[in-house]
Chain A
Amino acid sequence: MKMAGGAQSRRIDLGPWAFVAPALLWTLAFFVVPFLVMVVVSLWERVGTKLVASWTFANYLKFFERGHFFEAMINSLEVTAIVTLLSILLAYPFAWIIAEKVPQRWQRIALVLAILPFWTSYVVRSYSWLLVLANNGVVNQALLGIGLVDEPLDLANSRTATVIGFVHFFVMLLTLTIYANLVQLSPNYRKAAADLGAGPFRIFWHVILPLTLPGIMVGAFLTFVLCIGDYITPQVLGGNNELLMPQVIMLQIGRRADFPTASALAILLMIVVTVAYLGFARWIRLERA
């Protein structure tokens, strides 16, 4: 039996609310309310430069009627899927090497190094890839130099550039989550499996991989959410040839100040993320253990 909380009184105490209220009110005022405003505005119409409260689903219908909105969503989903898959495939062996092959005392440094560029801002990181992938950038010059190509490749301003920019970021993120999962596995699992006669491949396939699946899934979900909502990377690296959802949303806000359409598109994007969350939910625990 443990002693119960603070001095519990028979009276009702308002004191505790004083601690919680500021954060709750902040979140309500600047997160919940704006979101509700967005939902309301998504049902309005823009007539000329004014917003009219007309209560219509027209903005949502536009998404299905206008080909380029729908296309942007498909592009976003495609790019996000490719990025998530590629990042996991690249990051898993990397995390495994750091966790298994690097001596214990160097692991932390190896990991910190591996995620150092993670801390460059989005804008700067995308710009850096532009430098690397530009027509006369480092990659093309190198390829020309060793005679692998005769003409510079059109790397920038393409889906490839967007994917490379994203994968760069998410390989670092996933290395972190997968590594965290790998190091907390007891080495006895492997010993037990080996003791029972499993070879290295079967140990990995039947023991290590299933045990690290939660880490992979958490990382995959983070990748999905951050990737599908990012505006900078496709805008800087993809150019305007092929638009993704965040770019289309920003176009509505920036060029046309069409808040109702932008809100409707943003809410549709959120719905997609929510569906993804439900799919991943069984692996994700945001609560403290």
Chain B
Amino acid sequence: MRKTWPMVLSILYASAIYCFIFLPVAVLVLFSFQDGRFPIPPLKGLSLRWYEAVWNDSRLVEALVNSVTVAVGSSLVAVLLGFLSAYGLARFALPAKGLQRALLTAPLTVSYLIIGMGLLITFNTLGVPKSLLAAGIGHVVINLPLCFAIIYSQMSDHQANIERAARDLGAAEWQVVTLITAPMLWPALFASFFLSMTFSWDEFIISFLLTRFDVTLPVEIWSLLRSGLNPKTNAVGSVVFAISIVLVFLLELVVLRNRRRS
């Protein structure tokens, strides 16, 4: 067959890249089950003792709860603000719309390090102590532009007509938003919420700069790294990975279902 060679090359190349992509994750997860003190070859047997160690480490568990709290809280705020501003800008005649859109999406182009530093210095100057709340505020700053952009892109003129119909039939402005617009945009709201969750959940540098005693999970893992290679770090890293995957999977499910329907 004439087409065999390119196909063989393609398969080889793709396999190599998949190996490269999955190598660190595979090693991470595999050696989280290491029945020994070091997460390096040889694998001495499989055990769940390091997961047990994670479970018994109250600081890690606390950090995990903190991370979930910050992720859920900041994502809710980001989606709410993003939705309201997208609705306002898409549906009403406001001055300087372009400038407003530019302002709302500006944080997308600035690195997390600089956003975190700005907040750190500002809070420091004002005497605001480091806290999970401060980190949450930072997470809203990085996720709000995403939520706004996603939701804004989903607001079509057809939907504007649907809202007009609701108003015509007697719905007040708040009823239009809650009964018509939000349910219609449900997939976009859901997608931006879960994307925000994932980003907040994985975010390190802002949390690192803005928290002190109560920290988020990535910050706690960071301090674990100082003890060098340790299967316990593997175990908690695997847990973090698993939770991210669940979030992404949920997102994928909603997007897919929605795509199939339309």
Which A residues are closer than 8 A to B by beta carbons? 2-3, 5-8, 13, 15-20, 22-24, 26-28, 30-35, 37-38, 41, 90, 93-94, 97-98, 101, 112-114, 116-117, 119-125, 127-132, 134, 136-138, 141, 168, 171-172, 225-226, 228-232, 236, 246, 249-250, 253, 259, 262-263, 266, 269-270, 273, 277, 286-288
Contacts and interface: CB of A to CB of B under 8 A. Distances in A.
Interface of B: 7, 10, 13-14, 17-18, 20-25, 27-28, 31, 38-41, 80-82, 84-85, 87-89, 91-94, 100-101, 103-115, 117-122, 124-125, 137-138, 140-141, 144, 148-149, 152-153, 157, 160-161, 164, 167, 173, 198, 201-205, 209, 218, 221-222, 225, 229, 233-234, 237, 240-241, 244-245, 247-248, 252
B205 A22 contact: no
Contacts of A123: 204, 218, 221-222, 225
Given A131-B24, A132-B24, A23 B113 contact: no
Contacts of B38: 136
A27 B104 contact: yes
A51 to B, nearest CB: 8
A232 B204 contact: yes
Nearest to B97: A20
A226 B120 CA distance: 20
A230 B204 CA distance: 10
B19 to A, nearest CB: 11
- Please list the 8 inter-chain residue pairs (A to B) with the smallest Cβ-Cβ separation, ordered nearest first: A229-B111, A19-B88, A34-B118, A128-B24, A16-B92, A23-B85, A20-B88, A121-B202
A98 B164 CA distance: 44
18 contacts: A13-B92, A19-B85, A27-B107, A33-B122, A35-B110, A37-B125, A94-B17, A112-B252, A122-B218, A137-B27, A138-B23, A168-B24, A171-B17, A229-B114, A250-B113, A259-B121, A269-B114, A286-B105
Contact of A94 (B13, B115, B164, B167): B13
B247 to A, nearest CB: 8
Contacts of A119: 198, 202, 241, 244-245, 247-248
B39 A131 contact: yes
Contact of B152 (A7, A22, A288): A288
B225 A127 contact: yes
B89 A35 contact: no
Contacts of A41: 121, 125
Contact of B118 (A31, A90, A287): A31
Nearest to B201: A121
A5 B93 contact: yes
B14 A131 contact: no
